[in-house]
């Protein structure tokens, strides 16, 4: 009887592991697209790596492609607000009564998914509950051994990422975690509009100039650029951007 029960448990585990196997890339695509079409309010914790400063943020999505991030911790960032309406990113700094705006440059999801498909083996299973939500956990195993593995856990209903962990040499670091998750019917439009006041200083940050290649970049910078064609570990150049500053202009490679 014990052997039979153990066999059933193993069979169930195998079924769970393969339940999402054929659609892992589709789940990931939905996760990348989810923030544009979902009305949600989350409290999330982020850190760049294990032991790094934890940043607690209230994240709000209006389901129309707009997002708002309000910094809760650490104290030095408390009250800072970042609004992205798909066209521009607005930073609100209450202490200095300053609003900064710059053009929004979203990364192509098709580009990202193509790279992921080339450089990772994907699988997915039913995940643990996070903030009371049923989840799907995506395992991303790199083909280059020097790169860390990723575990991306998304909400099963909305596909919004709730937890992201990096695993390298057996050590796991949680880069993103979700403390609370709500799905209101709608969000006030005022949340995604910068406040206006005669005392507020508005600063418009010039957008970088996107160029096709290093030949085009050479027209803007005081040096002859060179862009590597073969970057190791599966990395690729997504775009070339020139930050204009006269003789101090620089070429930025978005990887």
* Residue 41 pLDDT: 98
- Please say if the pLDDT value at position 6 is more than 60: no
**Complete DSSP assignment for 170-216:** TEEEEEEEEEEEE--S---GGGGS----TT-EEEEPPPPEEESSHHH
Taking a C-beta distance cutoff of 8 angstroms, is the pair 166, 148 a contact? Answer: yes
* Residue 35 pLDDT: 87
The CA dihedral of 51, 53, 58, 60, to the nearest 10 degrees, is -80
* Residue 207 pLDDT: 87
| pLDDT tens string 66-124 | 999 999 999 999 999 999 998 899 999 998 999 999 988 877 889 899 999 999 999 99
Q: State the pTM of this model.
A: 0.83
| pLDDT tens string 205-249 | 888 999 999 999 999 998 899 888 889 999 998 889 999 888 888
Higher pLDDT, 80 or 195: 80
Across residues 42-61, what is the average pLDDT?
90
**Element of type H or E holding 136:** strand 135-142
Q: What is the Cα–Cα distance from 127 to 135, expressed in whole angstroms?
A: 5
- Please say if the pLDDT value at position 20 is more than 60: no
């Amino acid at each position: 009887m014990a052997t039979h029960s153990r066999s059933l448990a193993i069979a169930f585990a195998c079924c769970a592991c393969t339940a999402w196997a054929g659609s892992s890339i589709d789940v990931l695509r939905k996760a990348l697209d989810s923030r544009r079409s979902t009305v949600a309010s989350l409290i999330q914790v982020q850190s760049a790596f294990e032991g790094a400063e934890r940043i607690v943020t209230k994240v709000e999505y209006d389901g129309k492609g707009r997002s708002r991030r309000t910094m809760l911790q650490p104290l030095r960032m408390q009250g800072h607000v970042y609004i992205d309406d798909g066209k521009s990113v607005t930073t609100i700094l209450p202490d200095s009564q300053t609003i900064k705006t710059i053009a929004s440059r979203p990364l192509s999801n098709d580009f990202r998914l193509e790279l992921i498909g080339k450089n990772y083996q994907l699988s997915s299973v039913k995940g643990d509950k996070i903030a009371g939500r049923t989840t799907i956990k995506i395992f991303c195993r790199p083909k280059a051994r020097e790169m860390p593995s990723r575990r991306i856990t998304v909400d099963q209903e909305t596909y919004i990422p709730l937890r992201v962990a990096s695993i390298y040499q057996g050590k796991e670091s949680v880069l993103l975690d979700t403390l609370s998750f709500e799905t209101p019917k709608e969000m006030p439009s005022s949340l995604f509009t910068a406040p206006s006041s005669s005392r507020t200083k508005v600063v418009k940050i010039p957008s970088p100039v996107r160029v096709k290649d290093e030949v085009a970049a050479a027209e803007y910078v005081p040096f002859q650029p060179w862009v590597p064609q073969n970057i190791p570990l599966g990395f690729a150049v997504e775009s070339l951007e020139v930050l204009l500053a006269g003789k101090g202009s620089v070429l930025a490679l978005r990887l």
